[in-house]
Structure 1
Amino acid sequence: MLKPLRQGLPPIDPKGAAGSASCALPGRYEAVRGARQFTRTTLTQWDLSDRFDDVALVVSELVTNALRHALPDEEGPDCERLGRIGRETYDLSVRLHLMRWSSRLVCAVRDPSHTGPAVRRTEEDGAAESGRGLCLVESFSDTWGWHPLTGALRGKVVWALFQLPPDRTC
């Protein structure tokens, strides 16, 4: 598991952002398609369509990881335990946030798990169909990290940062 990393993440203060957009995603794998569509629409509005391919790949991986590893199974012990302490008390959804500053774009995925992401480096089976998501995030973004949430929000945020060319204006 990776240690929480906030380094490289712009301040979270939404007033400092040139633009921000957020959407809730259902706990189903079809949500990945919705996240990509939301990303396309948002980047188009921000005149960043040329960044769509890289950003959408990263968004897809982060959302897939949240759905696969951070949501409790409908029948599993985590879901049952959370239900006993009041499911309404805890936000068990996944949210996608896109934030734009003049020189940076951040995509962040919030999920209810406190468990940090783990990069799996699988040299022994290069043909594996899963396990390479965070390696792709690392390759296509300029930096990435995660941090736990505190207070009323429970879980964590996994984020990826993309540098924007200096000639971009907000």
Structure 2
Amino acid sequence: MNETMQLSPLRERFYRREHRSVPAAREFVREAVTDWGFGVRLDDVLLCTSELATNALAHGVPPGRGYLVRLLLEEGGAALRVEVHDSGSGQPGVRESDGESGRGLLLVEAVADRWGVGERSPGKVVWCMFGRGCFAGSVN
């Protein structure tokens, strides 16, 4: 890459409602995280991307629709925000696992520095953030 080339602080990609979209979203995020120099947090970011995309497919994307993965560099490039936008209703939250499922947001809460849910019309945005520095714990 040319040293003088400026990287955009925003990247986004739309995915259709299909299971192969989760690995595609992970690869999209992997490329951006690597380009932006967040490699030290790569495993955490990819885990959270997988969980949020899977939750969107399972609970937030009605048939015939899809979801958007948006990545933003914030705080002057010191933080990475991962957003998954879907058009479904409902308010995601950390819940007790039923043994087979239900651990996704527990994992996000454990590895992301912060996470939360925002409104959009229609639907919601589930997001998480990562700093370049050491693990900072979760704040919801």
Instruction: Give, in angstroms, the shift of residue 35 of structure 1.
Output: 0.7
The residue aligned with 1:163 is: 131
The letter of the residue matching 1:148 is E
Is the Cα contact below 8 Å between 2:38 and 2:132 reproduced in 1? no
After superposition, the C-alpha distances for 1:145-166 in whole angstroms (9 at most, x for unaligned) are: 011114xxx2110000112239
CA distance in 2, matches of 1:29, 1:146: 23
Instruction: Give, in angstroms, the shift of residue 136 of structure 1.
Output: 0.3
The letter of the residue matching 1:27 is R
Moved over 2 A (4+): none
> Percent of aligned pairs with the same residue?
38
CA distance in 1, matches of 2:86, 2:47: 18
1:46 and 2:36 matched: yes
Q: Number of paired residues? A: 125
Instruction: Give, in angstroms, the shift of residue 23 of structure 1.
Output: 0.5
Is the Cα contact below 8 Å between 2:10 and 2:71 reproduced in 1? yes
Is the Cα contact below 8 Å between 1:114 and 1:148 reproduced in 2? no
Q: 1:146 aligns with which of 105, 111, 117?
A: 117
CA distance in 1, matches of 2:45, 2:25: 11
Q: How does 1:122-133 map to 2 (within 5 A)?
A: 122=97, 128-133=99-104
1:93 and 2:61 matched: no
Is the Cα contact below 8 Å between 2:83 and 2:125 reproduced in 1? yes
Q: Which has the higher strand share?
A: 2
CA distance in 2, matches of 1:139, 1:130: 16
Instruction: Give, in angstroms, the shift of residue 142 of structure 1.
Output: 0.8
Instruction: Give, in angstroms, the shift of residue 118 of structure 1.
Output: 2.8
Larger radius of gyration: 1
1:136 and 2:107 matched: yes
Instruction: Give, in angstroms, the shift of residue 73 of structure 1.
Output: 4.2
The residue aligned with 1:109 is: 84
CA distance in 2, matches of 1:95, 1:134: 18
TM-score (norm 1): 0.68
After superposition, the C-alpha distances for 1:70-90 in whole angstroms (9 at most, x for unaligned) are: 12246xxxxxxxxxxxxxxxx
Matched residue SS, 2:96? coil
Matched residue SS, 1:117? coil
Structure of higher RCO (CA pairs closer than 8 Å, 6+ residues apart): 1
Which consecutive residues of structure 2, in runs of 5 or more, have no partner in the other structure?
1-7, 135-140
Matched residue SS, 1:165? coil
TM-score (norm 2): 0.82
Query: Once superposed, what is the RMSD of the aligned Cα atoms?
Result: 1.8
